[in-house]
Amino acid sequence: MKGAIGEYGVWIANIGGWLLVHLGVSWLYARMPDRCFKATKGMQGVRASAEPRAGEIRFYESVLRIRCWKDKLPEAGGLFKDGFSKKSLRSSDPIYLDKFVLETRRGEQAHLAAMLSVPIFFLWNEMLPCVAMILYAAAANLPFVAVQRYNRARLLRARQLITNRGKG
């Protein structure tokens, strides 16, 4: 297909395509109801793996050294009307923390969905650019997935501490 649109056309299709994917997925996920991202005991598939496991915070801090770079990533949660900015924690209120946790799930799933769009780019790219599209999708989304999971683990731990403090 490259011959039909030319080399510059392929560049424009790739750059424009990723821009549309990122904005489109963000817009779509921002409009999805909160119930789509609430944790339930019977969560299956991707959602079940989205909940943090014991020791996950240590992994993110010691192996990925996430504290060194997470604040350098852009945060676009507040980009759309009624969006939720996850740049900083604004309250220790349990209701706010629950909403923040929910929004980390929304953000993680949006970034995973953006990565799943890679096959679209196979329609007009040759093999080497297809590999580049896969690498781009991973580089542009996996750091955000890691930050969402790390923040969710920390928020859930904080939420549990607040709950336990209220009981005692």
Q: Cβ(149)–Cβ(91) under 8 Å?
A: no
Per-residue pLDDT tens over the stretch 29-85: 999 999 999 886 544 444 444 566 768 899 999 999 999 999 999 988 778 777 888
Per-residue pLDDT tens over the stretch 133-167: 999 999 999 999 999 999 999 999 888 888 888 77
3, pLDDT greater than 70: no
Rounded alpha-carbon distances, angstroms, from residue 89 to 69, 75, 84, 97, 164: 17, 13, 11, 9, 20
Residue at 53 is within a domain: no
Helix (H, G, I), strand (E, B) or coil at 86: coil
Residue at 88 is within a domain: yes
Residue range of the domain that includes 17: 2-38+58-167
Residue at 138 is within a domain: yes
Q: How many CB atoms lie within 10 A of CB 54?
A: 7
**Alpha helices in 32-167, H assignment, sequence order:** 45-49, 56-58, 66-69, 94-115, 118-121, 127-167
pTM tops 0.75, yes or no: yes
Q: How confident is the model at residue 1 (pLDDT cuts 50, 70, 90)?
A: low
Residue at 143 is within a domain: yes
Residue at 108 is within a domain: yes
Residue at 123 is within a domain: yes
Give DSSP secondary structure letters for 14-69: HHHHHHHHHHHHHHHHHHS-GGGG---TT--HHHHHTS--TTHHHIIIIIS-HHHH
Q: How many CA atoms lie within 13 A of 103 on its CB side?
A: 21
Residue at 137 is within a domain: yes
**Residue 153, C-beta contacts closer than 8 angstroms, at least 6 positions apart:** 52, 56, 57, 60
Residue at 73 is within a domain: yes
How many domains, in total, are found in the chain? 1
